[in-house]
Amino acid sequence: MERNYANVTEKMDKTINVLKDELANIRAGRANPHLLDKLTVEYYGAATPVTQVANISIPEARQIVIQPWDAKLLSAIEKAIHASNMGLNPNNDGKVIRLVFPPLTEERRVELTKLVKKDGENAKIAIRQIRRDALENYKKMKKNSEITEDDMKNIEKEIQEITDGYIEDIDKIVAGKIDEIMEV
């Protein structure tokens, strides 16, 4: 009997995507334009993401250049960067804003790896919760005699295999981010 676990894998995929988004926002000592994804500025009365009002480039490994399409936005972008607590000091030359990423201290690297591991553990907890919810639904079906005891055993095994695959993916993603942080 071929089963479709699309709803389970879809929820687990979303969990992986959330983890990747969270980790993209962790500064690893090198320039990453995703750090600016959540940064917004006031533009014609609306909070607008910086990525929608400026060109963002990375001329060097440790530098981001923000070139707003409207020069009036320079000071607003600069204020938003200061308010964001990214720990970066924007350098405004009247045309562009340069963000220079200083190398991370060993202490900060250790802090960031702990944060990455915590995010990874939270993702694993979410994956396990999805597994638990799916199994509960199948147990209700078994109780209502919609599936047999043998079907239930196979379902548990298959969902566990799916879960193990996603947990393995999380471990790889976390290990990759830790390697990026620890790279000097």
For the chain, the structural domain boundaries read 6-24+105-182, 33-100
What pLDDT band is residue 26 in, cutting at 50, 70 and 90? confident
Tokens 């944060």 map to which residue?
A: 115
User: Higher pLDDT residue, 101 or 131?
Assistant: 131
Q: Report residue 117's pLDDT band, with 50, 70 and 90 as the boundaries.
A: very high
Residue 61 has pLDDT above 50, yes or no: yes
How high is the pLDDT of residue 1? 41
Over pLDDT 90: what percentage of the chain?
A: 33
Q: What is the pLDDT of residue 9?
A: 92
Q: In CATH, what class is 6-24+105-182?
A: mainly alpha
| Dist CA 115 CA 178 (whole Å) | 10
- Residue 153 to residue 161: CA distance in whole angstroms: 12
Nearest-angstrom CA–CA distance, 116 and 19: 9
Alpha-carbon distance of 56 to 77, in angstroms, equals 12
Q: How many CB atoms neighbour CB 54 within 10 A? A: 21
Q: Measured between alpha carbons, how far is 23 from 88 in angstroms, rounded to an integer?
A: 18
> How far apart are the C-alpha atoms of 63 and 81, rounded to whole Å?
14
Q: What is the pLDDT of residue 79?
A: 85
**What's the rounded mean pLDDT across residues 9-23?**
91
pTM of the model: 0.71
Instruction: List, for residues 154-164, the tens digit of each pLDDT value.
Output: 999 999 999 99
Give the Cα-Cα-Cα angle 106, 109, 13 (nearest 5 degrees). 165
Who contacts 92 (Cβ-Cβ below 8 Å, separation ≥6)?
Answer: 74, 75, 78
CATH classification code of 33-100 = 3.30.1360.40
Please state, for a pLDDT cut of 70, what percent of the chain lies above it: 95
Cα 105 to chain center, whole Å? 23
